[in-house]
Amino acid sequence: MDTARQFIPLHLAVLTVSDSRTEATDTSGQLLVDRLIEAGHRLVEKTIVPDDLYQIRAIVSRWIADPDTHAILVTGGTGVTGRDGTPEAVSPLLDKTLDGFGEVFRMISYQEIGTSTIQSRALAGVANGTYLFCLPGSKNACATAWDKLIQGQLDFRTRPCNLVELMPRLKE
């Protein structure tokens, strides 16, 4: 952490993908909201959509098109069941993927849940200059992803490099 650099608050959106969660029971989405606010970022919007490819894509597309949304955190729908379709919904929207995110997430997760981590299809990428992070629906998985990967990369003070300092160049 480079304390000589000023923190730059970003505008983030949170999407929970679930057929069963409500605002009252959405612990994963709420954890992400709490963490991003604690870090000093601003919440643009939070919503819940069912595990439906087109509903997921519609919400994410709207946020991607909004120049005031810098990053999107999606929780849920990254597993392997028939209803899990978040990667299929989001992947076609990405201009570039950040393959290392899913790889490192699963490496860290392996230390916590062992071989069960192979069931996660967590991914990240960039679309129209907006970062997207697709995380499992588990509260613990969201905490791991935010605390050990996302928070540092969305903090301009993180050295040797971070995603924030690349933002001016994402649309080149």
Q: What is the pLDDT of residue 69?
A: 97
Q: What is the pLDDT of residue 65?
A: 97
- For position 118, what pLDDT does the model report? 87
Question: What Å distances lie between residue 148 and 78, 85, 101, 104, CA to CA?
Answer: 19, 25, 11, 10
The mean predicted confidence, pLDDT, of the chain is 95
Q: Which of these, 88, 51, 86, 84, lies nearest to 72 by C-alpha position?
A: 86
pLDDT value of position 168: 87
Regions of the chain with pLDDT less than 70: none
**Rg of the Cα atoms in the chain:** 15
Distances, alpha carbon 157 to alpha carbons 154, 160, 166, in Å: 9, 9, 13
Q: What is the pLDDT of residue 81?
A: 81
Check residue 111 and give its pLDDT: 94
Q: What is the pTM assigned to this prediction?
A: 0.95
Which residues on neighbouring strands pair with residue 48, listed in sequence order?
A: 16
Enumerate domains of the chain plus CATH numbers: 11-166 (3.40.980.10)
